[in-house]
Amino acid sequence: MGEFSINGQRIESRILREPPPNADALWPLLQQLTTHQIVEVAAHWLHEQVKREFIKGHNLTESKGHPCYLRLANPKAHCTGIECADLPAKDHAYMFNREGQPYCLVYHPYHLEAPQMQRLAALCEKHKLMAHVDGQSWYFSGRSLRITLTREGDYVI
């Protein structure tokens, strides 16, 4: 665990191994903000950064088409947005391609309840898809989940 102090206050972090540049100047500003404001500022900054890292790390391109799980099940499917409206907790959705073909659908709900999880599992079984749920969301990071849908056998983690 990294430890350092700012203005005499001891800081422990499992992530930071050394203080960031200009930490002494930053600390008084952070003390004026609420936790929620700090999370909002960090989420805003992280949004594009985390999304870019996800795309680059998995060799993906963002699809110009409608983000639809049916396109994963059948890449030739055409969806107007009505056909895939039954995707549980769909919010802030993005579709990504690999080698020009639909590869994964990523969306970022703020919560996921048991009935939604059951519907998601049934939908995945019906269409031979896999769902991976984690906390690595780039959309309001720290407050939303990331759900990644792929075809069975394709993995994005």
Domain extent listing, the chain: 2-54, 60-151
pLDDT for 72-107, tens place per residue? 988 788 887 787 888 999 999 999 999 999 999 999
pLDDT higher at 106 or 153: 106
| Beta carbons of 149 and 131 less than 8 angstroms apart | yes
pLDDT for 38-58, tens place per residue? 888 888 888 888 999 999 999
- pLDDT at residue number 9: 58
| Beta carbons of 31 and 39 less than 8 angstroms apart | no
| Beta carbons of 145 and 112 less than 8 angstroms apart | yes
- pLDDT at residue number 132: 93
